[in-house]
Amino acid sequence: MRQPKILFVTQNPPYPLIAGSCQRTANLIDALSQLGPVSLFIIGSPARKPFLEGVGYRVAATSEPTAQSKSLVGRVLQRLLPGIGKNIWRTLAGVKVDFTPDPGLSETLTQLLKREHFDLVVGRYLIPSVQSGSLELGYPPVIVDVDDADSKSVAAKINSPASGLLMRNILRTRLAEVRRREKMLFEKTTKLWFSNPDDLALAPGMGADVIPNIPYEIPPREELEHSHPDSKTILWVGSFNHRVNMEGVELFLRKAWNDIRRVNPEVRFRIVGSHLPDAVRDKWSAISGVDVVGFAESLRQHYAEAAFSIVPLMDGAGTKIKVLESLGYLRTCVVTTHSIAGFEDLLRDRESVRTVAGLDELAGAISDLLNHPQTRHAMENNGRAIIEKHFSRDMIRNSVRQSVLSLLK
């Protein structure tokens, strides 16, 4: 079989590799590139094209959404409230605007397919895939990397303690419609990819496959050392342009940090992540025991100095790549049951990670790990071994290869 030409449609660029969403994009493009040449259709600013081509990607087209600019209300909101106007407009416009083709994006895709032949289109996330017009093509076949199922994201936000009463009520009115449209759009795809095995239940009989969510790269085992027995640093790593991360850390500091400090007065909480607003940085830096680093060029030093990491999230969908990243750096991780979703069969409590049901259980789990370094070291070994066996780059490449070839045959 000749090499297929593949078009990859994405709003999340594969570079720089700062956020987990970008790392998954890069991993999928890398895996698809083993099968044939991959070109990108970038949803976003045309300025991304020379930047991405400069690091080796081929960008076939770029385009920005136009639906808001074609709406009078959308234009007014953008002019009056440039920072939050888009979110307000989407709320007022309802679910439909998210799950229908965007005029500008779909026209760009149509013109691109007239100029170039592609054997396969792969869309990153459902909403960008729909808005690009990919699901209206009929040919070539379309794979959608759902990753974070929108219906599960909405349901999780409804249940999140960070959500206010008004937000919960708004989301409850939207959830049934999101589920209906999601199912309808799933049926328009040729194949679906999920990162969480539990999400296969959202698309029974639709030929969906699981492509795990893994860090783009982790250091070789021989370059890593166990956590220092005397370390009192717990580490957070995650980009703050993702709402779930911002709300999760804020909730952790507000609801759990004081209890943790009472039990362990020497403990330090180090926060590493890009896109942290200055006002939030100042607020968190003023909290006793909190060290705010912000963006870091390299994570090695921060993992090396940490006793373990923490992922105390109660919101979001898909799987949490930061859990695997920590284990890859030879650091165990304290996680909520929500944060471990999709990994439960492999990452077991007290073997490779420490799992808690809610924020009120964090103080005990953190105290236990801080005071028992030998227990940490055993968990570090187990966690790293699981990463090497089940979450390698070759495993992702093989999963993508089998999925695509089964479709193109």
Q: Are residues 200 and 235 in the same domain?
A: no
Domain assignment present for residue 85? The answer is no
Looking at residue 20, its amino acid is: G
Same domain, 202 and 230: no
Same domain, 127 and 169: yes
Identify whether residues 56 and 193 lie together within a single domain. yes
Start-to-end CA distance of the chain, whole Å, equals 9
In a domain, 96, yes or no: no
pTM of the model: 0.89
- If asked whether residues 279 and 316 sit together in one domain, one would say yes
Residue at 76 is within a domain: no
Residues 6+ apart with CB under 8 A from 307: 227, 228, 231, 232, 233, 234, 331, 369, 370, 373, 376
112 and 141 co-located in one domain? yes
Q: Which residues contact 171 (CB under 8 A, 6 or more apart)?
A: 154, 157, 158, 163
| Spatial CA neighbour of 77 closest among 63, 61, 88 | 88
So what's the pLDDT on residue 139? Answer: 84
| Pair 208, 237 in one domain | no
The answer, yes or no, to whether the previous bond of 197 is cis (omega within 30 of 0) is no
| Residues 351 and 404 reside in one and the same domain | no
User: Residue 156: pLDDT band by 50, 70, 90 thresholds?
Assistant: confident
Nearest in space to 109 (alpha carbons), one of 89, 135, 91: 135
CB neighbour list of residue 258: distance below 8 Å, 6 or more residues apart: none
Burial class for 394, CB neighbours closer than 10 Å (0-12, 13-18, 19+): exposed
Cα–Cα distance for residue pair 310/350, rounded to 1 Å: 14
| Residues 126/100, Cβ–Cβ less than 8 Å | no
pLDDT for the residue 297: 85
Do 344 and 261 share a structural domain? yes
pLDDT > 70 in the chain, percent: 98
Is 86 inside any structural domain?
no
> Which CATH number characterizes residue 20's domain?
3.40.50.2000
User: What is the predicted pLDDT for the residue at 260?
Assistant: 93
The Cα-based distances of 394 to 8, 31, 346, 402 in angstroms read: 20, 9, 18, 12
Give the model confidence (pLDDT) of 98-144 as tens digits. 899 999 999 999 999 999 999 999 999 999 999 999 999 888 999 99
Tokens at 118, concatenated: 């592609």
In a domain, 46, yes or no: yes
The reply to whether 53 falls in a domain is yes
DSSP string, 320-356: -HHHHHHHHTT--EEEETTTTTT-TTTS-BTTTBEEE
**Model confidence pLDDT, tens digit, residues 256-269:** 999 999 989 999 99
Distance CA 15, CA 12 (A): 9
Q: How many independent structural domains does the chain possess? A: 2
Residues 183 and 277 in one domain: no
Residue 80 belongs to a domain: no
Q: How confident is the model at residue 82 (pLDDT cuts 50, 70, 90)?
A: confident
For the chain, the helix, strand and coil percentages under 3-state DSSP, each to the nearest 5:
45, 15, 35
How far is the C-alpha of 357 from the C-alpha of 274, rounded, in Å? 28
Task: Give the structural domain span for 285.
Answer: 221-390
Token duo for residue 347: 């990452």
Give the residues across from 342 on adjacent strands: none
For 279, the token pair is: 């006002």
For residues 369 and 325, membership in a common domain is answered with yes
Given this model, what pLDDT does residue 1 score? 62
The reply to whether 77 falls in a domain is: no
Residues 237 and 290 occupy one common structural domain: yes
The three-class DSSP label of residue 205 is coil
